[in-house]
């Protein structure tokens, strides 16, 4: 655990944009026409999304909540399956809903980052093969045009696709996402003068065994899958992945007005495992929630290191957050990661904003247990209750920076991590 009580005071440049983020399927509820909803029913999932946070009904209350917490920016996603629940049939009431939501944020002085695709798609589009088939991309462009025209004069930033790092899953899917990004970027720029990007999951990779040459090689390979392919494509217009055929896509070159960076922790690469993902903590496991969870490590150094790779454009951190039962960990996390962001600014990187993930506890794709929110949600009554970390973050926003005085209002001692019993047989595999 890092000693946050030794952090120096620091401040951010004037105009730094502070806020939070969410995603449609995770908060809206009753997203019955999406592929994600369909999969939940098919899997007979113990915790399906259901009404999620009931944000579709409570969006006005949530907009006021964002403003009351001092946030000056908010990221939300439009659910394509609501806008076009059946192929070719656009639901004007859904478009009006997103328009009203954007109008509310503008009234409150909150800038909006609008994501056009945050993982989910309409079931009819998925049945056609979704983004797996290049010939399906015109459907996405048609939808994007409807949304952009509806939000004319309201959206402040666009994000085409959230975390299009799928070259690590399937090269063709990753390439299709990038082509979709390029075409949509050009479409939006033809319709309005709003900055456009796609949210990139920036993940620093390390070899599990530094002495092992194969681990080092595979860590570099994974880094290219996570980061290099995307950055190379935007810089050159070339789609390239190891062990595959390269493609030329000239419209990709320069197709980003800013970098949108999602960053949580690092990944250790174990060449002995089929999936290459090593257990991060073979001798102890951090227990910030009551289940095994892949975001178990605080690694703020990775924030500064990864931002070094995005020096050529303005940067907005569009996701960064901590899942924990004890809200004090979230205060520690915010202090550490904001210190790392400040280090990047001090080193000359043009970081212009930070959006915490997430505004409220929500549906984390398979369960409601991972709690990232600054705001607690009672999933029976849907009552919202800001946590101490929300007040801590609000003071940081108000002061445009961090101070020990602010920290000590909300944190008097470092919280303790629960560790599972040391298992020598597991640890020995690392040696």
Residue with tokens 């090689």: 217
Note the CATH number of domain 4-430. 3.20.20.80
For residue range 296-332, list pLDDT tens digits in order. 788 999 999 999 999 999 999 999 999 999 999 999 9
Q: What is the pTM of this model?
A: 0.95
The pLDDT assigned to 280 comes to 62
Q: What is the pLDDT of residues 113-161, one digit of tens each?
A: 999 999 999 999 999 999 999 999 999 999 999 999 999 999 999 999 9
The pLDDT assigned to 170 comes to: 84
Report pLDDT for 290.
76
What pLDDT sits at residue 9? 98
pLDDT for 286 equals: 61
In this prediction, the residues of the chain whose per-residue pLDDT falls under 50 are 283-284, 419-431
Question: CB-based contacts of 55: which residues, under 8 Å, 6+ apart?
Answer: 22, 27, 28, 29, 62
Name which of 312, 317, 309, 314 is nearest 261 in CA terms.
317
pLDDT recorded at residue 426: 33
206 CB neighbour count, 10 Å cutoff: 18
**Three-state secondary structure of the chain:** CCCHHHCCCEECCCCCEEEEECCHHHHCCCCCCEHHHHHHHHCCCCCCCCCCCCHHHHHHHHHHHHHHCCCCEEEEECCHHHHCCECCECCHHHHHHHHHHHHHHHHCCCEEEEEEECCCCEHHHHHCCHHHCHHHHHHHHHHHHHHHHHCCCCCCEEEEEECCCHHHCCHHHHHHHHHHHHHHHHHHHHHCCCCEEEEEECCCEEECCCCCHHHHHHHHHHHHHHHHHHHHHHHHCEECCCCCCCEECHHHCCCCCCEEEECCCCEEECCCCCCCECCCCCCCCCCCCCCCCCCCCCCCHHHHHHHHHHCCCCEEEEECCCCCCCHHHHHHHHHHHHHHHHHHHHCCCCEEEEEEECCECCCCCCCCCCCCCCEEECCCCCCEEECHHHHHHHHHHHHCEECHHHHHHHCCCCCCCCCCCCCHHHHHHHC
């Amino acid at each position: 655990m890092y000693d946050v009580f030794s952090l120096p005071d620091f401040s951010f440049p004037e105009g730094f944009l502070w806020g939070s983020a969410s995603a449609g399927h995770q908060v809206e509820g009753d997203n019955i026409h999406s592929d994600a909803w369909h999969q939940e029913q098919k899997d007979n999932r113990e915790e399906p999304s259901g009404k999620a946070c009931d944000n579709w009904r409570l969006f006005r209350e949530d907009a006021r909540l964002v403003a009351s917490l001092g946030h000056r920016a908010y990221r939300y996603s439009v659910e394509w399956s609501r806008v076009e629940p059946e192929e070719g049939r656009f639901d004007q009431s859904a478009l009006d809903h997103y328009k009203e939501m954007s109008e509310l944020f503008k009234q409150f002085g909150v800038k909006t980052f609008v994501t056009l695709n945050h993982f989910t798609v309409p079931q009819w589009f998925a049945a056609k093969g979704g983004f797996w088939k290049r010939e399906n991309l015109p459907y996405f462009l048609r939808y994007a045009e409807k949304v952009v025209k509806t939000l004319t004069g309201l959206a402040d930033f666009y994000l085409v696709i959230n975390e299009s790092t799928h070259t690590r899953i399937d090269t063709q899917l990753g390439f299709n996402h990038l082509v979709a990004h390029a075409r949509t970027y050009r479409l939006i720029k033809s319709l309005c003068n709003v900055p456009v990007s796609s949210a990139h999951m920036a993940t620093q990779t390390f070899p599990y065994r530094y002495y092992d040459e194969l681990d080092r090689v595979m860590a570099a390979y994974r880094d290219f899958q996570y980061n290099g392919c995307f950055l190379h494509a935007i810089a050159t217009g070339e789609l390239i992945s190891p062990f595959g055929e390269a493609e030329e896509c000239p419209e990709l070159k320069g197709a980003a007005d800013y970098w949108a960076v999602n960053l949580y922790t690092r990944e250790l690469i174990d060449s002995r495992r089929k999936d290459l993902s090593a257990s991060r903590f073979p001798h102890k496991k951090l227990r910030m929630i009551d289940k095994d969870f892949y975001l178990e490590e605080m690694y703020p150094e990775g924030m500064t290191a990864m931002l070094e790779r995005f020096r050529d454009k303005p940067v907005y951190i569009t996701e960064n957050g901590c899942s924990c039962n004890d809200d004090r960990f979230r205060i520690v996390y915010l202090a550490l990661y904001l210190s790392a962001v400040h280090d990047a600014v001090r080193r000359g990187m043009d970081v212009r904003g930070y959006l915490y993930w997430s505004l409220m506890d929500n549906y984390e794709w398979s369960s409601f247990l991972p709690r990232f929110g600054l705001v607690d949600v009672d999933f029976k009554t849907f009552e919202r209750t800001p946590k101490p970390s929300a007040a801590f973050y609000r003071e940081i926003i108000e002061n445009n920076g961090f101070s020990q005085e602010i920290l000590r209002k909300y944190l008097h001692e470092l919280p303790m991590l629960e560790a599972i019993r040391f298992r020598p047989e597991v640890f020995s595999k690392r040696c």
